[in-house]
Amino acid sequence: MTAMLDFENVNVAIADAPVLRSVSFSLPPGATAALIGRNGAGKTTTVRTIMGFTKASGTVRLSGQDLGHVPPHRRPFLGIGYAPEDRRLFSAFTVEENILLPGRVAKLGADEARRRLERTYSVLPELKELADRPAGSVSGGQGKMVALGRALMLGTRLVILDEPFQGLAPVLAQRYAEALRRLRSQDRDITLLITESNPKLLETFADVTLTIERGEIESRVLA
Amino acid sequence: MNSTLAILAILDGISYAALVFLVSVGLSLIFGVLRVVNVAHGSLYAFGAYLAATFSLAIAPISPWLTYPALLAASIVIGVVCGGFIERFLLRPLSGQEDVLQLLITFAAFMIMDNLQRLIWGVQPIFAAEPLRLLPNIAVFGVSYTSYQVILLPGVALATLFGLRYFLRRTLSGAVILAVTEDREASTAIGIDAKRVYFVTFVIGASLAALGGALASPTTSLVPGMGADMIVLSFAVAATAGLGQIEGTALTALMIGLTRAFVIYLQPEFEVLVPYLLMVLVLLVRPFGLFGAVQVRKI
């Protein structure tokens, strides 16, 4: 079976300092993968490389397609959704406008956009109540939910969540984990890649655990 | 100051503010999105004025009314050709490098365009007042004034203000520009081509500068150096408002236009000084401008 995500000997250097060293791993379709590592280990660089935000050597493939030939702004249209670590919502818009914007950019039809919005609300029901709130006025935890909702709009094959639990109060972290379980139960085929520094948070949830240390994948564990 | 002079000053101020707004809002838009202080903006204003005069003089013998579309056509040609060239071939290769390099490259563009302007149109003053003459004078509280300056120019400025507001807040292209303004990488992650947004924004800003020049061309003689005067003034307006603030730029242009007009009638020797004095006073109290905010980029 073709892997959903495939890293082959990927190297990234920032200001001549190596950040990723010969990183290779594969994720099958439908996997829930945890990328575990300490701060500065290379987790965010790994996911930013998938999105095309770093200058990388080696090969990154999505369903066999070499992403090296796909400009960064075209990658979301391949079905990749990305929720960055620091949320990065657009404060000029409401919560719902933030969620819908990727669909408008991708020129989804009205029916398809509505269907995906309903899917997002079914995974994250609390966002429905926040729909008309300015995105700049939501709390940090709510902002993480909105970022996930926005990632789901185009993330039909691979959803990348960069440290989603960082800074969340325990109650919100619980709700976020429940949302991910709802997503997984509703969509068996979607591949999730979640970075985290605390391995315990994802141990019951992930079926693939990758440990990264100093830019190298140290271990792969299949649950 | 008697009431006639006061009315004249107000009308002068409104007319001048309309032109200054068009140029300043282009500068502000470009800064808001690209974070580039475009020193060549004054040259785009001058090129717009000269090309509009060239088109007007060529088309007026066929039909004087065609001079109006000629003004618009000149603005679009300069915006697309010159603005597009500056963004694509001068600014884009410097993307991601130090901001000062972008400032320097637009200064180089300004110097080159200033010389090109002398090469193409010479140094003798050019007059192309046909569009001004076509529209009748009107009486405002007993004072006769050209309707071109007191109705058409403010009308175009207001249409630009509300048009830009509508474009940015109600259309997908506007939403995309707002998103890139706020966060380029997050925009790319949802499928927005930031390079294209930069190009389009620069062309719009450049076209607005050229439109200001084109609309000014019937009201004044075109001479070398007019671009340098305008870039300094439009920067003063944009900085006083807060760079990236569209509505603030409109209000500041009106404030500076009216103040300048009254100063011309009362103390003409201070005419040049007033806009910059206002800018310094405002920036001393509010370093991010009258309508600007710390760490918030708005357009």
Spell out the SS3 assignment of B112-134. Answer: HHHHHHHHHHCCCCECCCHHHHH
Q: Is residue A113 included in any domain, yes or no?
A: no
Q: Which of B178, B187, B190 to mutate to test the interface with A (most CBs of A within 10 A)?
A: B190
Q: What ipTM was predicted for this assembly? A: 0.93
Q: Is residue A51 included in any domain, yes or no?
A: yes
Supply the pTM of this predicted model: 0.91
CATH of the domain at A51: 3.40.50.300
Q: Is residue A20 included in any domain, yes or no?
A: yes
Q: Is residue A129 included in any domain, yes or no?
A: no
pLDDT digits (tens, 9 = 90+) for B226-247: 999 899 889 999 989 887 788 9
Structure tokens at B178: 């707002």
In chain B, what residues touch A88 (CB-CB under 8 Å)? Answer: 183, 185-186
Of the listed ranges A55-59, B99-103, B138-142, B166-170, the one predicted with least confidence:
B138-142
pLDDT score, position B296? 46
CB count, 10 Å around CB of B141? 11
Q: Is residue A149 included in any domain, yes or no?
A: no
Q: Which of A80, A88, A90 to mutate to test the interface with B (most CBs of B within 10 A)?
A: A90
Domains of chain B, first to last: 3-285 (1.10.3470)
pLDDT score, position B299? 53
The DSSP H or E segment spanning B38 is none
pLDDT score, position B208? 98
> What are the angstrom distances between the C-alpha of B145 and each of B4, B101, B264?
12, 45, 17
For residue B50, the one-letter residue type is: Y
Measured between CA atoms, the residue of chain A closest to residue B173 is: A105
Would the CB atoms of A104 and B172 count as touching at under 8 Å? yes
End-to-end CA distance of chain A: 19
Share of chain A above pLDDT 90, in %: 83
What integer is the mean pLDDT of B49-73? 96
Q: Which domain holds residue A206?
A: 5-88+154-222
pLDDT score, position B1? 66
Would the CB atoms of A105 and B176 count as touching at under 8 Å? yes
- Give yes or no for B96 touching A (CB within 8 A): no
Q: Is residue A77 included in any domain, yes or no?
A: yes
- Give yes or no for B295 touching A (CB within 8 A): no
Q: Is residue A138 included in any domain, yes or no?
A: no
Measured between CA atoms, the residue of chain B closest to residue A97 is: B175
In chain A, what residues touch B181 (CB-CB under 8 Å)? Answer: 92
DSSP-assigned states of every residue in A173-215:
HHHHHHHHHHHHHH-SS-EEEEEES-HHHHTTT-SEEEEEETT
What integer is the mean pLDDT of A60-82? 97
Structure tokens at A80: 């990749």
Report how many domains make up chain A.
Answer: 1
Q: Is residue A119 included in any domain, yes or no?
A: no
Residue B174 burial (10 A CB sphere; 0-12, 13-18, 19+)? middle
Report B:151-180 residues touching A (Cβ under 8 A).
172, 175-176, 178-179
